Amino acid sequence: MLAAVAKCPSHTLPAGQNYPSRLPYAFSNLVWWNDTELRTILKERIKGLGDEISPDSPAPCKIRDELKVLLKEKGIAAEIQSEEPSYSAFSGSRDPDSPAPAIVFSVLSPQILVDRLVILGAPDEVKEAIFEDFHTSEGRNYSARQDWIVRSRAREALEANGYLDGKVDVAHDAPRSIGGHYAVNLLISTNAGPQYHIQSITADGGPLLTGRDLSEFFAGRVGEVAREGPFGRLAGEIRAYYARYGFADVMVQGPPVLDREHALVSYHLTVVPGPLYHLRSLTIHKLNTEQEAKVRTLLGMKPGDAFDEMAITTLYHKIADDPAIAAYSFTFSPKKDKAAAVVDLTLDFYKVGTGSSVTIK
């Protein structure tokens, strides 16, 4: 996060960066008001304030100053900071439950801490899981920007115990002054709903496993509480199996189908293999002719063969066991041409202990 300057002059964002000219703003720990109340007050006091502001304008400073005034009216001498989202916040994927990048305003001083974790309405086993996950938040700084994590993981605790329709709300109670700081209780309210049981669980392993009975690998059984991961490790094993035979884009799916009237759930795992990839080219760098020939033999995969991801992993172990090339390791870069369903594989070798590191590009 990029901390905003303490004064009101505008500042210029670094040139050449793909950074929005306007951003929404949010509040982290202004616990005396809810979000709607605070926005309404600020818009009344700051002429022209909308729901977005320019990071390089005087607006962030005006909001900081007005927040200090609001707290002073409550008898609180506060230091307010604003933080702009980092550039990476706009370039990567984001959890759909997480708050959107925003300029975040917070009270830096006095501290706003979590006093106690209060869990309401949760079944005992879920309450224990939530408490185990979040009890360390007690005594730490409070931030509403982290509520989505609490909400998400509390839902996971419900689902792991069969409460597939569970709802979670996260809030805080009224702030109170304790010594030189303020404290709030973190309130996690749950509506668990019915506990689901498994009505049926089946799997179709796709063309490479036609007719195979895969039920021995299931973690869940008919009649049991519907818990997390009913197929156990089966989905991951199937992905690895298909990838070994050239199906690098294989998708394994088994979403729950709920019968809400009877609190029952059915699972059916399916496999979508995708295209069969072949190795188009194999390029090896930084080995002599003899060593390269050795590596090609150990790899066991040549241009024209079905592309086997496991062959690359296995190569590490084969090299370590071969005295002629045991001093080497490699990085690898498989480049897929999806239109042609082929892979160009490059292996870059280096001597172990030279400071290089093994990375997958």
CATH of range 197-272; options 3.30.70.3000, 3.10.129.10, 3.30.110.30, 3.10.20.310: 3.10.20.310
Write the DSSP symbol of residue 196: P
pLDDT at 353: 72
Q: Which residues contact 85 (CB under 8 A, 6 or more apart)?
A: 1, 2, 23, 101, 102, 103
What is the spatial distance between Cα 35 and Cα 133, in angstroms, rounded to a whole number? 26
Phi/psi zone of residue 16: left (φ > 0), alpha (ψ -120 to 50 degrees), beta? Answer: left
User: Over the range 96-113, which residues count as b (16 or more CB within 10 Å of their CB) and which as e?
Assistant: eeeeebbbbbbbeebebb
- Distance CA(202)–CA(265), nearest Å, equals 12
Domain ranges of the chain: 2-109, 112-191, 197-272, 278-351
Amino acid at 258: L
Amino acid at 72: K
Dihedral angle sign, alpha carbons of residues 228, 232, 233, 238:
negative
> 112-191 has which CATH code?
3.10.20.310
Cα gap 245→317, rounded to integer Å? 20
**Mean pLDDT per 10-residue run, the chain (361 residues)?**
47 58 95 96 95 93 96 96 86 83 96 97 95 94 96 96 96 95 97 97 96 95 95 95 94 96 97 96 95 95 94 93 92 93 95 53 29
Angle at 252 between CA 316 and CA 337, to 5 degrees: 60
How do 167-172 and 23-27 pair as beta strands?
unpaired
Point out which residues pair with 83 in neighbouring strands.
3, 104
Kindly state which CATH superfamily the domain 278-351 is placed in. Answer: membrane protein fhac (3.10.20.310)
What pLDDT, on the 0 to 100 scale, is given for residue 5?
38
pLDDT tens figures, 6-46: 456 555 554 445 678 899 999 999 999 999 999 999 999 99
Q: What is the number of residues in the chain?
A: 361
Q: How far apart are CA 42 and CA 210, in angstroms?
A: 64
Tell me which H or E stretch contains 259. Answer: strand 256-259
Which whole-number Å values give the CA distances from 197 to 116, 168, 192, 257, in the listed order? 34, 21, 14, 12
- The structure's pTM equals 0.78
The pLDDT, as a whole number, for residue 217 is 95
- Percent helix, strand, coil in the chain, to 5, is 30, 30, 45
Tokens of 124: 């005992």
Instruction: Tell me the pLDDT tens digit for each residue of 275-305.
Output: 999 999 999 999 999 999 999 999 999 999 9
Domains 112-191 and 197-272 share a fold: yes
The residue assigned the tokens 């931030």 is 143
Which distant-in-sequence residues (6+ apart) come within 8 Å of 334 by Cβ? 307, 309, 312, 343, 344, 345, 346
**Cβ contact 217:269 at 8 Å:** no
* Residue 262 tokens, joined: 């009877």
